[in-house]
Structure 1
Amino acid sequence: MTSGGKVVDINGWTVWYEKFGTGPEIMLFLPDAIGSGRQDFIHQLEGPQSFSHNEYTIIVMDLPGWGRSRPPERPYGQNVYVNDADVAARLMEILCYKNYILFCFGEGGKVGLTMSVRYPSRIKGLVLISIFMIISPETVAPILATVNTRKWIQEMRDNYLPVYGNQDSSLQNMWDKYIDFLKSTTETCPNGFVIESDKLESIGCPILIIHGNQDQLISLDHPKYIDKYVPDCQLHSFPNGGHNCHQRYPVSVKRISELFFISL
């Protein structure tokens, strides 16, 4: 069961988190852009297809400046993922968890990889869903095309209502800031990668990548880039899957993930 959401101050950032389960295996869930842990991972947290609350203790958090982890505003810039990683690692320290698995969706995957580089002794394994790594005008274009949140499908918009409210302007303003940051990444990542290959090669923990071959925002080239350089990496793709494989195929994602966990 859930203990209810809590807020803690970490390095001057308001951090919202929630705890599910009491099992011996510890996991930290990191959501996608402007997302919230509960909304992005509801299928993994509650219901018959969720991870067992007797086998796992799951911490879900909202990244600084997104979801319920605000104010202040998100610290967009070249070191934003480093800040996220440090805040997430500190949260787990406060909660007295020394070793844990990371389960990451979208932008959360960039944070998870950064944590694996900065805190290698703490991360047992890393699950990446719909990871974005290659920066170029061509790769960011599909995401930039989503700038108008009023054109999102209603199911997607409804996912954010519990966090940002019913005002269109709140969701649009939050997404506009992310889009502006994404436009700048071609300058802040001049080499064309969110994380360079030499840093990926230094990652010692096993990585499982889950990707939808029909993802209209992120091509298969992104997970293949990680698979090429991370020493212990496996890639599972869903031929008909889109951006939200863990939401569309929660039973399969659970099975694949738990087989991965056994190997850790």
Structure 2
Amino acid sequence: MKDWWQVTFPKGRQSLTITDAHGYPVQIAYGEIGSGRPIVLLHGMGSWSYNWRHIIQPLSKYFRVICFDAKGYGFSEKPLSRREQNGHQVIELERIIQSLSDEPVTIVAESLGGLVALASAQENPQLIARLVVVNVPIFAEQLPHWGMSLLAQTPLEVVQTIDSLRLANLLAPFVREVIAIERRKVLFDPSVLTQEDVYWITYPYIEFTGTLTKVAEEVQIAVREIENFKANKPNLLSKIQNKLDSIDCPTLVLWGEQDSWFPASHGKKLHQRLPNSRLQILPNCCHDASTGASKVLSTAILKFLQDTDFC
């Protein structure tokens, strides 16, 4: 099967070294295509750049599209010798943007990536010109999926042992089948997910040691956040919620009408809290909007950028 990076980007997969939130150098995988003002695509938890496969080409006709795998995900480095702290992705996104763009960027972010994008707009407004967030867990009160709950309850040492034994590689057909079943559940039309899609979605889990461990680590951070939120203890989720009105860049909130993970009412609530935002509910769309509603998504993004005089 052809290398997705080579097929998608003129220079294929490129590598960028940044200093992570711990102060260590880390390799970030990315690709870029197109010219003009920069758009940065930010994926969600457990995903990687491939999730934007249907959005990249339409946007690259008008913009310089930059797609990267967050630390621990996809083809980026997965340091296992140190544990992550909540908020590390916000710090690392700042350093990625500073390394790849000399002007403010538009961020298009899905699911957990949207939460990181909102926090980044609060902490580093000078880096972000426009914001598009899709199906964001900004008001989440629990993990939305049984697989996440399972990872949350499994000690990281156990997950890391499974990872080091490369059980996902040994059980590759089973892993692909399970993930395919679960991914189709967050699509309005499950048939749009092809076998090639399943191959690439699962590729990092099957081929790269550390992927499962880093995802489990992020899930456990999310659990602690939700627990602290409910207990009125310090947490990043509350901090982001309480400062939503400080985000003054033009923002488009996109939400799947049939999103069973985070209901469309959350999108309406987020829109009400963001002073310079507009809301679009996507019909016939579940949680995985970038796969299941890609045409509507790319059209909405381009219209938003045209309306805000960014093109």
TM-score bracket, shorter-length normalisation: 0.7 to 0.9
Q: 1:128 to 1:135 in 2, by over 3 A?
A: same
Cα-Cα RMSD: 2.7
* SS in structure 1 of the partner of residue 255 of structure 2: strand
CA distance in 2, matches of 1:171, 1:16: 14
Q: Which residue of 1 aligns with 2:70?
A: 63
Moved more, 195-204 or 24-33: 195-204
Q: Structure 2: 5+ residue runs without aligned partners?
A: 1-8, 151-174, 184-197
- Relative to structure 1, the CA distance from residue 15 to residue 116 in structure 2 (aligned partners, 3 Å threshold; closer, same or farther) is farther
The correspondence for 2:180, drawn from 153, 160, 173, is 153
* Cα deviation digits, residues 225-244 of structure 1 (max 9, x gap): 32121101111112321011
Q: Is the 8 A contact 1:26 1:56 kept in 2?
A: yes
TM-superposed deviation, 1:21? 2.2
**Which residue identity is paired with 1:5?**
R
Q: Offset of 1:33 from its aligned partner?
A: 0.3
Aligned partner (choices 110, 124, 128) of residue 105 of structure 1: 110
Distance 1:194 1:30 in 2: 22
Q: Structure 1 residues 71 and 13, CA, compared in 2 at 3 Å: closer, same or farther?
A: farther
Assess, with a 3 A threshold, how the Cα gap between structure 1 residues 241 and 135 changes in structure 2: closer, same or farther. closer
The Cα shift of 1:101 comes to 0.1
* Local SS of the residue matching 2:291: helix
Moved over 6 A (4+): none
Shift of 1:95: 2.2
Matches within 5 A, 1:125-164: 125-136=130-141, 139-140=142-143, 142-144=144-146, 147=149, 151-154=178-181, 156=183, 158-164=199-205
1:116 maps to which residue? Answer: 121
- Which residue identity does 1:163 align to in structure 2? P
Query: Partners in 2 of 1:15 and 1:114 — Cα distance?
Result: 23
| Cα deviation digits, residues 57-79 of structure 1 (max 9, x gap) | 111111122222222148543xx
2:219 matched to 1:179? yes
The amino acid that maps onto 1:45 is I
Give the TM-score normalised by the residue count of structure 1.
0.83
In structure 2, what is the Cα distance between the partners aligned to 1:212 and 1:186? 23
Kindly indicate whether the alpha-carbon contact (under 8 Å) linking 1:133 and 1:225 is maintained by their aligned counterparts in 2. no
Give the Cα separation in 1 of the matches to 2:83 and 2:262.
Answer: 24
Q: Distance in 1 between matches of 2:203 and 2:91?
A: 27
Contact 2:29 2:68 (8 Å CA) reproduced: yes
* 2:299 aligned residue: 255
Contact 2:74/2:211, CA 8 A, preserved across alignment: no
Preserved contact between residue 39 and residue 107 of structure 2 (Cα < 8 Å): yes
Relative distance call for 1:13 and 1:111 in structure 2 (3 A) is: farther
Moved more, 184-193 or 114-123: 184-193
Pair member with larger Rg: 2
Structure 1 residue 198: Cα displacement: 3.5
- Percent identity, aligned pairs only, is 18
Q: Give, in whole Å, the separation in 2 of the partners of 1:6 and 1:107.
A: 24
Give matches, 1:68-79, under 5 Å.
Answer: 68-73=75-80, 75-77=83-85
Q: Deviations over 1:193-217 (max 9, x none)?
A: 4544441100110111111121121
TM-score normalised by the chain length of structure 2: 0.72
In structure 2, relative to structure 1, the CA distance for the partners of 1:174 and 1:122 (3 Å cut) is closer
- Are positions 1:25 and 2:66 aligned together? no
Q: Report the counterpart of residue 237 of structure 1 in structure 2.
A: 281
Aligned to 1:34: 46
In structure 2, the residue matched to 1:3 is 11
Which protein is richer in helix relative to its size? 2
Query: Alpha carbons of 1:196 and 1:31: their partners in 2 closer, same or farther (altered >3 Å)?
Result: closer
Whether 1:213 and 2:257 are equivalent positions in the alignment is yes
| Alignment-mate amino acid for residue 72 of structure 1 | P
Q: Would the alpha carbon gap of residues 184 and 103 (structure 1) be closer, same or farther in structure 2, given more than 3 Å must change?
A: same
Distance 1:95 1:174, change over 3 A: closer
- Aligned residue for 2:44, secondary structure, equals coil
